């Protein structure tokens, strides 16, 4: 009978350790200088962005990496499944990026609006100058890339504004100046 309290204590300790690990994974460290309320608001915004992104893009945001690149002629939107064996996510990414290339080419930016709940910067200029911008989808091993190119300086500036917004909103940490 003496072992029962020890087993109960060991079980309780193991459960608490598990809960601590799970909570730590779900609750990122609070950024320096942020209040607790600001941190909670940011976490809520990020959760909504992921939920809306999954609805608009058709794949689980946590199963993919979504970098944005500014280039001298525009930029790139890349998405890759994190797991090389995850063919379902790869196929969903490819379908989404094909749709994006076609929709953006027609001036339709509904999916970014659905994801972010607002019209991203640069969109109105990209719509107005759509005849000067090309959107090209190419599959990659784990997903795909949409290349956005123009020789029009105003369109390029708008593309860069749009991509910088994506970098900030998705917290990708990608460079915000042209890379190629």
In a domain, 17, yes or no: no
In a domain, 7, yes or no: no
For residue 155, the enclosing domain spans 46-169
In a domain, 116, yes or no: yes
In a domain, 1, yes or no: no
Q: Please check the confidence at residue 151 and state whether its pLDDT lies above 70.
A: yes
Q: Please check the confidence at residue 91 and state whether its pLDDT lies above 90.
A: yes
In a domain, 22, yes or no: no
In a domain, 63, yes or no: yes
> What is the spatial distance between Cα 133 and Cα 125, in angstroms, rounded to a whole number?
11
pTM: 0.70
Provide the domain count of the chain: 1
Q: What would the pLDDT profile of 22-74 be if each residue is shown by its tens digit?
A: 444 455 566 677 677 765 666 655 656 555 545 556 668 789 998 999 999 99
In a domain, 39, yes or no: no
> In terms of C-beta density within 10 A (0-12 exposed, 13-18 middle, 19 or more buried), how is residue 180 classed?
exposed
pLDDT of residue 25: 46
């Amino acid at each position: 009978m003496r072992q029962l309290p020890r087993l109960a204590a060991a079980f309780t300790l193991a459960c608490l350790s598990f809960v601590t690990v799970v909570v730590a994974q779900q609750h990122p460290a609070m950024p320096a200088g942020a209040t607790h309320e600001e941190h909670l608001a940011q976490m809520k915004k990020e959760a909504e962005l992921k939920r809306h992104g999954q609805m608009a893009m058709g794949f689980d945001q946590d199963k993919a990496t979504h970098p944005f690149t500014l280039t001298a002629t525009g930029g790139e939107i890349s998405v890759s499944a994190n797991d090389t064996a995850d063919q379902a996510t790869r196929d969903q990414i490819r379908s989404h990026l094909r749709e994006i290339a076609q929709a953006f080419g027609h001036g339709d930016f509904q999916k970014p609006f659905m994801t972010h709940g607002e019209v991203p910067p640069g969109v109105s200029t990209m719509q107005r100058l759509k005849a000067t911008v090309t959107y090209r989808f190419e599959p990659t091993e784990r997903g795909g890339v949409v290349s956005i190119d123009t020789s029009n300086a105003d369109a390029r500036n708008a593309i860069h504004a749009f991509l910088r917004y994506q970098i900030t909103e998705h917290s990708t940490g990608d460079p915000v100046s042209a890379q190629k």
